Structure 1
Amino acid sequence: MLAGAGAAIGLQVAHRSVAAGVAQHSNFTADPLGRLRRTLQYIFAVVLPEAQPARSMVTDWVARAHQPVEGMLDGAQYSAADPDTQRWVTATLYWTAEEIRWRIWGHQQPEDAEQIYRSYAVLGTALGMPETSWPHNRAAFYRYWQQQVAKLEVTAAARQIMSDLFAARSAPWWLRTLMPQAKFLTAGLLPADIRSKLGLDWNGEHSRREDRLWRILRNTYPRLPNGVRQSPARFVVAGLPSAPEH
């Protein structure tokens, strides 16, 4: 999930309405760690059983934060409550997670893949996306995905958002030192056309370097103890608010 965060953001802002909303209402480039923490809190509170006591509180936070996110910028109308926008954002989270999972673990049994796919719908429905908006199976999802990617329109606002993200001017020094690698991972995961339009460089040497990186990760990450692999999720869940006592 962390490895795919930059690609998910790039795909989201390549959607013109999302880019407009982010440009007008988000401060994630001023507080990237805070934005990442809040995003992970939302995801884990929605999907992890051990975080369920905080689910309603966290979804309420996000819903309130999204209420004022609507308007018009450079001819693009946007609203965080728009079901099509919610579906696209949810789709980017699923697609990037699957890209990472496939690179590390390889192919899954079809029934397992479908179950994982269906579980992602809750990331959108928890904020009001109609359940019927989520494509009913993976085949339908990839038809939707190809159609949407073909229609993406990368704007100047989207390019500025990505430039600010990787510059990380307000981030701690240690996070800034990680940004070149994050930018590289992001560029490698993105579809080539979107990568180019976002102004991210890529060539044959980059491809060879990426192949070496994923080969190393594929041979090491699955061998790590579960406690190590799950430590980021445990850290985020530990910071979630407790449900109020009655």
Structure 2
Amino acid sequence: MRRPVAGIAGFAPESVLLASAGRAILLQLANPAVGHGVARHSNFAADPLSRLHATLGYVYALSNGTPEQQRLVAARVQRAHRPVRGVAGPGRPAYDAGDPALQLWVAATLYASAIQVYDAVFPALAPDAADAVYRDYAVLGTALGMPAALWPATRADFTAYWERSLGGLAVDATIHEVARELLAARHAPLWIKAAMPLVRLLTVGLLPPSVRELYEFTWSRRQERLLRGFFGTAGVLVRITPARIRQAPMHYYLKRVR
């Protein structure tokens, strides 16, 4: 029997939440400042897993790591973000990875994507547990220097912020190309390439319809049935799989944080 979820420490270890990774990344990219910063300072084509590895190590350390691991990952990400800044130019917005508003958006996409997958697989969290998980997710922004007051105070406030933010997203040719490289995974290991049809299904299917349209993704009834089938199967598997197996990715990444 699964233990009751107590904040982010009991929520984040569930490996099925990895299904939300592609959605979170594409939502981040659809913020033009984030998308252009990634386009100019990252290389999805040559190293498609680097951002995923960094994000997972960050989330797992902040949710379940030691204080030393938490300090370490925060310092690493801050150091990596320091040079990520640029001035506005033709067809390009200004961006700065140290901007608290962008840090808020990135943390918000991680929370919203994880909770969407959790709710598709597990029974709904009790309101007090859901509130605790939500409050704890603020650390993904505050660890980078985002003022705590910037995190919306309640889940209702977050929903209002989220809806406003979706209305300000935009996907231009540069961001389209980054997303295309991400989902093509041309230089990824063979086992990743073999999983990409499922990754693309999950990534596109979990996006809000308005963002799916921004990326010009198509979505059919057949794909919707496949997506529902995946989560139906996942809902059965998480009930019969021991925690040590469900949480294996977290333990793997925590061992790498040193």
TM over 0.5: yes
In structure 2, C-alpha distance between the alignment counterparts of 1:137 and 1:30, rounded to whole Å? 40
Q: How does 1:28-107 map to 2 (within 5 A)?
A: 28-48=44-64, 50-71=65-86, 72=88, 74-107=91-124
Structure 1 residue 167: deviation in Å? 1.0
Q: SS in structure 1 opposite 2:145? A: coil
Q: How does 1:113-128 map to 2 (within 5 A)?
A: 113-128=130-145
Structure 1 residue 199: deviation in Å? 2.7
Indicate conservation of the 8 Å contact 1:166/1:180, yes or no. no
In structure 1, C-alpha distance between the alignment counterparts of 2:193 and 2:243, rounded to whole Å? 28
Which residue in 1 is equivalent to 2:193?
Answer: 176
Which residue in 2 is equivalent to 1:150?
Answer: 167
Which residue in 1 is equivalent to 2:33?
Answer: 17
Q: CA RMSD in A?
A: 1.2
More displaced 10-residue stretch of structure 1: 221-230 or 66-75: 66-75
Which residue in 2 is equivalent to 1:225?
Answer: 242
Indicate conservation of the 8 Å contact 1:44/1:51, yes or no. no
The percent of aligned pairs where both chains have the same amino acid is 39
Which residue in 1 is equivalent to 2:3?
Answer: none
- Given the alignment, which residue of 132, 155, 164 partners 1:138? 155
Indicate conservation of the 8 Å contact 1:42/1:58, yes or no. yes
List gaps (5 residues or longer) in structure 2: 1-16
In structure 2, C-alpha distance between the alignment counterparts of 1:154 and 1:35, rounded to whole Å? 19
Which residue in 1 is equivalent to 2:215?
Answer: 198
Structure 1 residue 203: deviation in Å? 1.0
Residues 175-218 of structure 1: per-residue CA shift (max 9 Å, x gap): 11111110100111001121122132211111112112211111
More displaced 10-residue stretch of structure 1: 231-240 or 33-42: 33-42
Normalising by structure 2, what TM-score?
A: 0.90
Match for 2:56: what amino acid?
A: L
Match for 2:73: what amino acid?
A: V
Indicate conservation of the 8 Å contact 1:31/1:171, yes or no. yes
Give aligned pairs, total: 240
1:5 aligns with 2:21: yes
Indicate conservation of the 8 Å contact 1:104/1:222, yes or no. no
Structure 1 residue 239: deviation in Å? 1.2
